[in-house]
Chains A and B, each alone.
Chain A
Amino acid sequence: GAGVSQSPSNKVTEKGKDVELRCDPISGHTALYWYRQSLGQGLEFLIYFQGNSAPDKSGLPSDRFSAERTGGSVSTLTIQRTQQEDSAVYLCASSVSLGGRTISYEQYFGPGTRLTVT
């Protein structure tokens, strides 16, 4: 079946511009995560969506970052007024989880969007 897809795969933008990154999770997965990975580093948690609950935004590095998830499926991560330090690979993942206290399942990752801010 189809996995997690992300678009674009690569994005080069000028400092100060806004960018939108898209994630299509696996159908039926209620949990969706965004991570950022700088070159040679680990994954930095950004935001987490679970069903219709309010998202956990505790990892967003600044108010220039925001994310939405429409209809419990597709998600968009928006970075406003991009800075050079925003250059990284942005990874999206989805997983199955149950209502109530979430039971963690393995995450399925998309291929990522490589963002370069010049």
Chain B
Amino acid sequence: SQQGEEDPQALSIQEGENATMNCSYKTSINNLQWYRQNSGRGLVHLILIRSNEREKHSGRLRVTLDTSKKSSSLLITASRAADTASYFCATDDFNKFYFGSGTKLNVKP
């Protein structure tokens, strides 16, 4: 399976701290994306990184991609209580998307 797997499964931090989540996958990818989900409902796209990119920033988000290790990380800096959610990585082979089981982030105020 090409499915991405996030690590850790759960993460609890204090507001203001940084949160780092990792994603590993098994086969070649086209893109890797990170999504956020609140309360088990629809996912919201956060950031996309292409296979030929190594790092990307968007606001307080920083994503890295290491295709040699088949891994990616999502860093959320200066976390806020509102960042509490589940975070998923998704890889694709142009036509289908493969989601991991997610990291549940809890940011304590």
A-side interface residues toward B, CB under 8 Å?
Answer: 4, 33, 35, 37, 39, 41-43, 45, 48, 50, 56, 58, 89, 91, 93, 101-104, 106-112
Contacts and interface: CB of A to CB of B under 8 A. Distances in A.
Contacts of A112: 40-42
B96 A89 contact: no
Interface of B: 3, 30-31, 33, 35, 40-45, 48, 88, 90, 92, 94-102
A106 B101 contact: no
Given A45-B97, A101-B94, A109 B42 contact: yes
- Binding site secondary structure of chain B: strand
B45 A107 contact: yes
A111 B88 contact: no
Contacts, number: 59
B96 A39 contact: no
A48 B44 CA distance: 19
A49 to B, nearest CB: 11
Nearest to A108: B45
Given A41-B101, A42-B88, A102 B45 contact: no
Contact of A102 (B3, B35, B95): B95
